[in-house]
Structure 1
């Protein structure tokens, strides 16, 4: 099925072995991430997604923060695999932190009370779409990435370290960098288990 969009989606994969030698400048990466988030659709055009983009010492600071937080809760005698994983993310060129602004959601709940229960759910849709948009855009720029979820255990430290608005809610972290290893093989479940088509 020749389709440019599908071909781009296919090349977006989880890359866990990343380095700092990305093919485009930080300025271009930043512009790419901003545009991807801006173009990601949101319910009621809420534009609730927020992103913090970390490079260099700030990127290192984030993953050290994650390491320090996990060291407090993971037993010392089994910490080595965790340390190795965190170091693999820190080896990259940068990290995107994805947030959803809860003030936006609360405002929509107040304005449209009939849908109040749905807005938090739709916010989760929004952040997922924003994450996919950024991930796909990075992949198209030949930059590897993966999606991580160390929230909520790191939330307090993150908000303190970067003085972020209290209405933001951390949803995911995306370390990115140069490809330093081939992708693993990707497998798919049977279509019959996943899809129903009626005509």
Structure 2
């Protein structure tokens, strides 16, 4: 199948070997990330997704703070792999911290009480879409990235270090940079156990 969206999805892979051999400037990358999030759909057009975009030393600081928090709970004799991960994430050009604004969610619950119980789930949908939008945009720009989930352990250190509003809830972290390694082939489970497809003829036949 020849389709630009599919081509982007094929390029988007989890990359842990990150570097700083990137031709785009920080300003260009910032603009790319912002536009990807702006264009991401959200329930009721709530636009609940938020982001803290970190470059260079700021990105390194986040991963050091996360490493420090992890060091307090991971046994010292088992910490080496965790430390190596933190260093690998910090080696990239930057990190996007993805948040969802809980004040926006609460406002929707108040304004649309019929759907009140659903809005937290809708917010998570928006978060996931914002993350894949940014990941795809970075992939199209030739950059590698991975999606990490060091919440809630990273929440408080990040909030203090980067003046994050209290209503923003950290949902994921995306370190990104140049590709410094290749990828293994990606396997897929069988379509038969994953998809159901019907057409009018099939429905009528029943």
The unaligned stretches of length 5 or more in structure 2 are: 200-206
Provide the rounded CA distance (Å) in 1 between the counterparts of 2:183 and 2:15. 7
CA distance in 1, matches of 2:153, 2:58: 19
Map residues 1-199 of structure 1 onto 2, 5 A cutoff.
1-199=1-199
| Post-superposition CA distance 1:99-122 (Å, at most 9, x none) | 000000000000000000110000
> Does the 8 Å contact 1:23/1:142 carry over to 2?
no
Preserved contact between residue 63 and residue 89 of structure 1 (Cα < 8 Å): yes
Q: How many residues align?
A: 199
Q: Which has the larger radius of gyration?
A: 2
**Secondary structure in 2 matching 1:54:** strand
The answer (yes or no) to whether the contact 1:23–1:143 under 8 Å persists in 2 is no
For normalisation by structure 1, the TM-score amounts to: 0.99
Q: Partners of 1:23 and 1:183 in 2: how far apart? A: 21
Q: Tell me if the contact between 1:149 and 1:172 (Cα under 8 Å) persists in the aligned partners.
A: yes
SS at match of 2:120: helix
Distance apart, 1:196 and its partner CA: 0.4
Q: 2:154 and 2:179 mapped to 1: Cα distance?
A: 27
Match of 2:203 in 1: none
CA displacement, residues 126-185 of structure 1 (integer Å, 9 cap, x when unaligned):
010000000000000001000000011111111111111100000000000000000122
Distance 1:72 1:184 in 2: 34
Q: CA deviation at 1:11?
A: 0.7
1:8-30 CA-partner distances (Å, limit 9, x unpaired): 11111101100011121101000
1:87 positional shift: 0.7
Mean CA deviation greater in 118-127 or 14-23: 14-23
